[in-house]
């Protein structure tokens, strides 16, 4: 309701705002996931990253797939929700033609992740001396931890 | 009635402030004899980077909003919408 009220105030449709927010969070999560998974290529952190990924058992994967299935089912089977989903997909198709926009958004998100990683590196630097060459690995560690926290259903988020 | 509401407001704010400050006091007591040193320059730099992050965070959202609406949307509009109606707060992991 708050979203609807604010959208009307700025002469924006509810679908426009909801689509923008969904895409914004989706791109942020996907890029964060990519940066986090890049830890596997780091000789220092490879063991830890693989160990954490190994803990994701077959049962967890099955449960995740069931949750995704229920979510997709809800999106297309409930009439009121499916109308919004179709509108969102239509918007996504229209946006597909604007390559400059996608480049701007993706570049912006990559820079934001770098900025977050840099802030994390500086934070650690204030307590213990860390070499500047480790900044990349720390950025990936931060993204990895953020993604696990964000996608986890049980742990509290920020 | 207004005075009563005002007093109640101050009381709630005071209680919240107490619970907000209390953990800092506990941490201070626990770390009083700790041997590590805080480099305030790096710490302030880190907070500066976080501040910059939250300021720039709206840019991709405003770009998407302008693209979908096919009309320029001001950053202040995106700011109001994002912080007052942020759906990510209700997504998994943000409980």
Rounded to the nearest 10 degrees, the angle between the axes of helix A58-77 and helix A79-95 is 100
What's chain B's Rg over C-alpha atoms?
A: 21
Percent of chain B with pLDDT over 70: 86
Q: Which of A24, A31, A125 to mutate to test the interface with B (most CBs of B within 10 A)?
A: A24
List the structure tokens of B24.
């800092």
| Domains in chain A, number | 1
The pLDDT value given to residue B94: 45
Which of A108, A120, A127 lies closest to B59 in CB terms? A108
Listing DSSP states for A67-135 in one string gives HHHHHHHHHHHSHHHHHHHHHHHHHHHHHTT-HHHHHHHHHHHHHHHHHHHHHHHHHHHTTS---GGGH
Report if residue A142 sits inside a domain.
Answer: yes
The pLDDT value given to residue A2: 62
Work out the end-to-end distance of chain B between its first and last CA atoms, rounded to an integer number of angstroms.
Answer: 35
A17, B65: Cβ pair inside 8 Å?
A: yes
For residue A20, is pLDDT > 80?
yes
Q: Give the residue, B55 or A14, on which the prediction is more confident.
A: B55
pLDDT in tens, A29-55: 899 989 988 887 877 777 777 777 776
The pLDDT value given to residue A4: 63
Report if residue A7 sits inside a domain.
Answer: no
pLDDT in tens, B16-31: 888 888 888 888 888 7
Give strand ranges (E) for B2-55. Answer: none
ipTM greater than 0.85: no
CA distance A145 to A158: 12
Percent of chain A with pLDDT over 90: 19
Report if residue A1 sits inside a domain.
Answer: no
Query: Residue A96 belongs to what domain range?
Result: 27-46+56-151
For residue B56, is pLDDT > 50?
yes
Put simply, whether B34 touches A (Cβ < 8 Å) is no
Q: Give the residue, B10 or A51, on which the prediction is more confident.
A: B10
H/E element, A141: helix A135-151
| Residue B83: closest C-alpha in chain A | A3
Least confident of A91-100, A143-152, B42-51: A91-100
The average pLDDT across A43-69 equals: 73
The pLDDT value given to residue B12: 87
Chain A residues touching B64 at Cβ < 8 A: 19-20, 23-24, 95, 101, 105
CA B87 vs. chain centroid, Å, equals 16
Least confident of A22-26, A47-51, A96-100, B83-87: B83-87
For residue A154, is pLDDT > 70?
no
On whether the CB atoms of residues A29 and A151 are closer than 8 A, the answer is: yes
The pLDDT value given to residue A120: 94
The average pLDDT across A73-85 equals: 74
Listing DSSP states for A27-73 in one string gives HHHHHHHHHHHGGGG-TTTHHHHHHHHHTS-HHHHHHHHHHHHHHHH
């Amino acid at each position: 309701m708050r979203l609807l009220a604010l959208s009307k105030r700025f002469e924006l449709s509810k679908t426009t705002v909801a689509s923008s927010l969904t895409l914004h969070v989706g791109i942020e999560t996907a890029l964060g996931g990519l940066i986090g998974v890049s830890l596997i290529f780091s000789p220092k952190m490879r063991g830890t990253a693989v160990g954490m990924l190994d803990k994701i058992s077959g049962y967890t994967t099955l449960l995740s797939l069931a949750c995704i299935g229920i979510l997709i089912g809800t999106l297309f089977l409930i009439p009121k929700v499916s109308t919004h989903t179709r509108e969102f997909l239509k918007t996504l198709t229209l946006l597909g033609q604007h390559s400059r926009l996608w480049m701007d958004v993706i570049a912006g998100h990559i820079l934001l992740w770098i900025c977050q990683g840099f802030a994390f590196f500086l934070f650690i630097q204030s307590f213990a001396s860390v070499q500047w060459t480790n900044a990349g690995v720390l950025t990936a560690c931060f993204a990895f931890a953020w993604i696990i926290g964000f996608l986890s259903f049980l742990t509290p988020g920020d | 009635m207004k005075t009563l509401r005002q007093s109640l407001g101050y009381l709630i704010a005071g209680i919240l402030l107490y619970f907000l400050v209390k953990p800092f006091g506990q941490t201070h007591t626990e770390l009083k004899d700790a041997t590590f040193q805080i480099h305030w320059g790096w710490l302030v730099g880190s907070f500066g980077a976080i501040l910059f992050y939250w300021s720039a965070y709206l840019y991709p959202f405003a770009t998407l909003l302008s693209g979908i609406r096919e009309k320029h949307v001001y950053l202040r509009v995106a700011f109001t919408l994002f912080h007052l109606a942020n759906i990510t707060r209700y997504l998994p992991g943000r409980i």
